[in-house]
Amino acid sequence: MSQEGSVEMQKPVCLIDSESTGELQVNQEALNILSAIRQPVVVVSIVGMYHTGKSYLMNRLAGKQTGYLDVVCASPCKNDHTLVLLDTEGLGDVEKQLFLNKCNSYVTELTEHIKVKSSLEKEEERASNFTRFFPAFVWTVRDFTLELKIGGKEVTADEYLENSLQLMKGNSPQASFGNKPRECIRNYFPSRRCFVFYQPAQREKLQIIDQLTDKDLEPAFVKQTEEFCSYVFNQSKAKTITGEVTATGQMLGNLAAAYVEAIQSGSVPCLENAVLALSQIENKKAVEQSHALYRQLQGERVKLPTETQEELSRVHEGCLKEALEFFMKRSFKDEDQVYQKDLMERIKDEYDGKCSENALQSQTHCTALLQQLWSKLDHESFMRPGGYTDYRVQVDSITQTYKGTPGKGVQADQALEIFVKEKSDLGASILSADKNLTEQERRVKEEEARAEMERFKAEVAKREQEDTMKRLEDTEKAHRENERQLMERMERERKAALEENQRVLDQRLKEQRALMQEGFESRSKMMEAQIQSLRQEVAASRNSGGGGGCVLL
């Protein structure tokens, strides 16, 4: 690990493989590596024909001059992110090569093999729903004789790509077959870039390109490679779940496991179900980690016993706020706030337990202090004429010393009340033994003793009421803090939903205009229902109060 929470792999590891029976399985070693990545991940996957330079580009992205990438590699990236590279290198035998050839057409059939929602989707919703989950599309072209010209006019690589995606007119089988991948890319990949590479070196060196250094390569090719890598590093976004939650390596591994499990079960993989399953895993973990953070912060910030309930309350308030913030950042799709309520209950129980522990430690400490002070008193020496007055002087001295001793905690008054009550019989005995006092004076002293006890009781009752009110106030504050952070989260989710819906709407409007310009008026009209549905979603998001990079070669 080069940075906290990041992983720098020394060699690539297979992520998903097939057993001898042909069933897919997730490699546990790869899952372990991904689980160690606590940073957000930028996922870049590469698909293309065998021997077309995929490994070279992935090596450069991984920061390796040479090497052999197999399936997955992770390395540090910008802004405390980790770059996860997914490669299909190694599919070189006949059977696997046939599989790889099918990958080029698989994207056109994707909607038939995977679904976004578990419920039945309307046809007009399918494209926009997939758009929300699909990553950016980067087309890298290795055509050494390609001229970037359209109608004799020089164009950029991006313009060349967009021109290549224009639909073929007519209803012939050839047009239908050619338009299918074009429509797929236009519909599902609104973010598109194109990079064209010149010949990297002389023909005899192409077979060992992974072993060449930059000085052995054509300067123009090196520059193109640097521009490509710079774009991926600086423009590729961290993988997100449901548009807002940034995925970590562990979340990525859990998603892969969920998809493989769905495929093995024979069902159609569903993105919504996979995200829901992932949210349950992540939310449970978020509760555990947030609860642990609260306990950790409590342990670091407070030393029991506290002098007042207010002191413990302030610490609790700060720890609760940070624990909730931690939870909000790591949880998602917490329907009806089930997991958030669980966390709040755990924190409440933890705080109640801390308050009880605080009181117990205070009571124990105060009792020990009073016993220590009392042990210096020889009560037998007061069983004499005039002894009661001397006894009261000593008791008052012990009481003042006790009250002046710091660090007694929240049970200081209660402990003193219990102590005075326990010693009341001894005081009565000394009073009875004092022959210097008249009967009238004894009654006065007895009344003074009872009055003092009542005063103690009143003070203790007042303190207990104040502490109880403070605990109730703490509960109300916790509720308000929980509600405040929940509302902030819902507002963030609302804005994220608005931005996402607006992005998809803009993309569909752009595609509709493009179809009109290309002369496909009927196709353009067919999109109207989908566009209206998206406009309604944008309006709902505005009025309500709540993928990584993909390199195709």
pLDDT digits (tens, 9 = 90+) for 448-468: 878 887 887 888 888 888 888
The average pLDDT across 515-524 equals 88
pLDDT digits (tens, 9 = 90+) for 344-391: 999 999 999 999 999 999 999 999 999 999 988 887 888 888 888 888
Residue 117 has pLDDT above 50, yes or no: yes
Q: Where are the domains of the chain?
A: 16-269, 294-360+471-491, 363-464
Rounded Cα gap, residues 377 and 395, in angstroms: 9
Rounded Cα gap, residues 410 and 358, in angstroms: 8
Contact indicator for 328, 492 with CB cutoff of 8 Å = no
The number of beta carbons lying within 10 Å of the beta carbon of residue 91 is 17
Out of 3.20.20.70, 3.40.50.300, 3.30.160.250, 3.90.1110.10, the CATH code matching 16-269 is 3.40.50.300
The number of beta carbons lying within 10 Å of the beta carbon of residue 11 is 9
The average pLDDT across 119-135 equals 69
Share of the chain above pLDDT 70, in %: 85
Residue 433 has pLDDT above 50, yes or no: yes
> How big is the chain, counted in residues?
553
Question: Between β-strands 136-142 and 549-552, what pairing exists: parallel, antiparallel or unpaired?
Answer: parallel
Rounded Cα gap, residues 167 and 165, in angstroms: 6
**Local confidence band at 551 (pLDDT 50, 70, 90 cut-offs):** very low
pTM for this predicted structure: 0.75
Give me the pLDDT at residue 92, please.
43
